Amino acid sequence: PKTDVVFLKVHKSASSTVMNILFRFGETHNLTFAFPVGGGNQLFYPRHFLARFVQGFSPRRPRRFNILCHHMRFLQPEVQKVVSRSAVYFSILRNPVQLMESSFVYYKGASAFSRAHSLEEFLRHPYLYYNPASKDSHYARNLMTFDFGFNPNGEVSAKRVQLMLEAIEASFDLLLISEYFDESMVLLKEMLCWDLDSVIYFPLNSRDSSTKSPLPDTIVEKIKNWNRLDWEIYTHFNRTFWERIDRDIGRERMQQEVKALRARQAELARTCLQGRGSVAPKDIKDSSLRPLQHGNAKILGYNLKQGLDAETERMCRRLVTPELQYSSALYKRQFPPKHP
């Protein structure tokens, strides 16, 4: 199994679920994480990543960490200072239409969104609300482009798009697609030589469907145009994703792998969860398993079954622990507080 991994955690793209997979694998195999200085949950995002943002990094005695997976704005020469040269790089993409809709709800407090009553209203006259110079403007346009380190307000010329795609291809070994999450997990498992249980997951940081509404076609087109660079990235890597499946695995074997993944997931849900599924924040009984609530989104969580034996309880708890709580526990384990 490969143990040196860089995951570019793209916002609002099922990336918290991927992070849980990396946290569990790292914890089980006693690996080190490149944590933000002071144990925060972002590597000084939205600034471009710098090696000195990592707790325990020193240019005089560079230290290599196994897993880099907290939110950052990608800058490969700096990333290379904190991970080994053999590290596997991967990220995840989401259809920019759903991404924009999700961002509008989740980042409702961002300067570009706070005054618009609806996404429709924002898209009618985006420049009434959107100021590229404000420090949180990246949430409102080409968010994936921004996270990959590029200028989200750059012109959309064929040449520029091509250079951007080539740069991403040169840096990353695999780009997952959140709409095909199970297929993505199979590809990830194959690439990292991990076993099935290492990529089993329960969806984390997902929001209650009561805050979701279908978008009319006119809005869909406006979102694509407004996020043109993201759209180019997504359509390109969605295509290469399936090409890779055809080349490396084949559709038939992929179907079997996905079936096995879902069967194991259902088995673990029966073992671990009360009621087998996610619940609204107000119904989560154990406050340590309550995810951060943000913007206008209602973020779902889980209740564990009572009376599990210690080993099973530990395994189940890892699967449903929200990102911030898990990150903080792993940070304390890696950097135990010094007692006076």
Predicted confidence (pLDDT) per residue in 141-163, tens digit = 999 999 999 999 999 999 999 99
- Which residues does 330 contact at the CB level (< 8 Å), separation at least 6? 23, 26, 27, 33, 35
Write down the pLDDT at residue 262. Answer: 97
Do you know the residue count of the chain? Answer: 340
Write down the pLDDT at residue 192. Answer: 98
Write down the pLDDT at residue 45. Answer: 97
- Which residues does 307 contact at the CB level (< 8 Å), separation at least 6? none
Write down the pLDDT at residue 339. Answer: 77
**Confidence check: pLDDT of 211 > 90:** no
**Confidence check: pLDDT of 297 > 90:** no
Write down the pLDDT at residue 284. Answer: 95
Average pLDDT over residues 20-25: 98
Q: How many Cβ atoms from other residues are within 10 Å of residue 127's Cβ?
A: 8
**Confidence check: pLDDT of 209 > 90:** no
**Confidence check: pLDDT of 195 > 80:** yes
Residue whose C-alpha is closest to residue 223's, from 115, 103, 117: 103
**Confidence check: pLDDT of 91 > 80:** yes
- Who wins on pLDDT, 69 or 40? 69
Average pLDDT over residues 174-190: 98
Average pLDDT over residues 294-303: 86
Write down the pLDDT at residue 294. Answer: 79
In angstroms, the CA 81 to CA 77 distance is 7
**Confidence check: pLDDT of 214 > 90:** no
Write down the pLDDT at residue 275. Answer: 86
**Confidence check: pLDDT of 183 > 80:** yes
pTM: 0.96
Q: How is residue 197 written in tokens?
A: 């249980």
Please, what is the average pLDDT of the chain?
95
At residue 258 the predicted structure's pLDDT band, cuts being 50, 70 and 90, is very high
